[in-house]
Structures are given as structure tokens and as C-alpha cells.
């Protein structure tokens, strides 16, 4: 009986030595913390939620009026002098109005990789996503700097938490080409 336990113990020790894991391999992964991106090449999910709205109203009204008049009349003895009158009047008025308004909204979800780790611990990220549907290609490019504390427990970060963010949506295909001016119109715009 002792001998069978000793053999089983030796087999178990040999298996542990053969399939053991080094403690340094998983030093960055804690059993007690969330699996968040922290090292070069790690992926992080970017939740692009951008809404922009701007408006500008301007009104200007000016007015100026000047009036100058001179009149005289006189009498010498029983004869009267001709009456002299002079009137000058000027006026100037201006009224101008202008208004601009822009609204935009973008929502997307994509992954980006950690491109570099900055000396202060912040993470520089870059990502690209290309979607092709029916010959129409849509490309989303995103880059920026994120603080590790802004990365949520599910390894995601909102786009408004990115510093120096660059979010570019580009399209290429039949629909995109149809929306732009033709080459004759472009030529006329260049000339005039």
C-alpha cells in the first residue's frame, strides 16, 4: 500500500514538473483584478459616442441721421428782403443678420491596440476598422491617449476619454462618388 502511494506521488510530482507554469509568465495577470489592457499590443474596446452641436447668431443694426437747416428773412424799411433758406439732411442705416448651426452624431464600437506606453503610464492607442457592404467601403480610424484608470472593468473606454483623439470616418464606393461633384464642376470651381 505504501509502495502504491509512493508511486502515485512520484507520477504526480513528475506531471507537475512537466506541465508546471512559471510564476513570471502571469505576473501581470492577477487572479483578483479585471483583465484590462496594460501592455504593448493589448487590445482595448473603444466605444465611440460623439455628439456635437454648435450654433451662432449675429445681428447688427446701425443708424445715423444728421439734419442741418438755415433760414433767414429780413426787412429794410418798408421793403422786404428775399427769404433765404438752406436745408441739409443726411442719413445712414445698416441692418445685418446671420446664423449658422451644425449638428453631428457618431456611434460605433471597435477595438484598438496599445501602440506605446508613455513614461507617465498613459497608453497610446491606434485602431482601424474597414467594413465593405455591397461595394461600399467604410473605414474608421481612431487614435489617442488613454489613462489606464479610464479603462472600465470590461476592458472598454469611451471615446470622449481619449486625449488628443483623432476619429476619422471615410467612405469609398459608388454612393460616396455619387455624392461628390463631377470633374467638370470641380474644374469650373477651380477656374472661377
Residue 8, in any domain of the structure: no
Number of separate domains in the chain: 1
The three grid cell numbers given for residue 83, joined into one nine-digit string: 427769404
**Sheet containing 156-158: order of strands:** 156-158, 43-72, 84-117, 123-133, 136-146, 163-172
- For residue 27, the model assigns a pLDDT of 47
Q: What values do phi and psi take at 43, rounded to 5?
A: -95, 145
Instruction: For residue 127, give its domain range.
Output: 34-54+113-192
Decide if 191 is inside a domain.
Answer: yes
Decide if 174 is inside a domain: yes
- For residues 69 and 86, the answer to whether their CB atoms sit within 8 Å is yes
**43 within some domain:** yes
In a domain, 94, yes or no: no
DSSP H or E segment with residue 186 = helix 183-191
Query: Within a domain: residue 166?
Result: yes
Tell the burial category of 44 from Cβ atoms under 10 Å away from its Cβ (0-12, 13-18, 19+): buried
Mean pLDDT by 10 residues, the chain (192 residues): 70 63 51 68 89 82 75 66 70 79 83 92 92 86 92 90 90 69 73 72
Per-residue pLDDT, 76: 64
Whether residue 156 contacts residue 47, with contact meaning beta carbons closer than 8 Å, is answered with yes
**What is the pLDDT at residue 24?**
46
Please give the pLDDT value at position 179.
65
| Alpha carbon distance 136, 172 (integer Å) | 6
Q: With beta carbons less than 8 A apart as the criterion, state whether 142 and 43 touch.
A: no
Residue 3 lies in a domain: no
Cell triple for 143: 487614435
Amino acid at each position: 500500500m505504501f509502495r502504491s502511494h509512493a508511486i502515485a506521488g512520484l507520477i504526480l510530482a513528475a506531471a507537475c514538473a512537466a506541465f508546471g507554469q512559471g510564476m513570471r509568465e502571469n505576473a501581470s495577470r492577477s487572479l483578483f483584478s479585471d483583465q484590462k489592457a496594460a501592455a504593448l499590443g493589448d487590445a482595448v474596446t473603444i466605444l465611440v459616442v460623439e455628439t456635437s452641436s454648435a450654433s451662432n447668431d449675429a445681428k447688427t443694426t446701425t443708424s445715423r441721421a444728421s439734419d442741418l437747416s438755415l433760414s433767414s428773412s429780413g426787412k429794410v424799411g418798408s421793403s422786404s428782403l428775399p427769404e433765404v433758406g438752406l436745408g441739409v439732411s443726411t442719413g445712414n442705416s445698416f441692418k445685418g443678420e446671420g446664423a449658422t448651426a451644425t449638428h453631428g452624431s457618431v456611434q460605433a464600437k471597435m477595438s484598438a491596440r496599445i501602440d506605446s506606453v508613455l513614461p507617465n503610464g498613459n497608453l497610446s492607442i491606434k485602431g482601424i476598422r474597414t467594413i465593405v457592404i455591397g461595394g461600399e467601403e467604410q473605414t474608421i480610424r481612431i487614435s489617442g491617449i488613454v489613462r489606464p484608470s479610464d479603462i472600465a472593468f470590461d476592458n472598454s473606454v469611451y471615446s470622449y476619454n481619449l486625449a488628443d483623439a483623432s476619429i476619422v470616418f471615410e467612405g469609398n464606393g459608388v454612393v460616396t462618388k455619387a455624392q461628390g461633384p463631377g470633374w467638370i464642376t470641380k474644374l469650373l470651381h477651380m477656374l472661377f
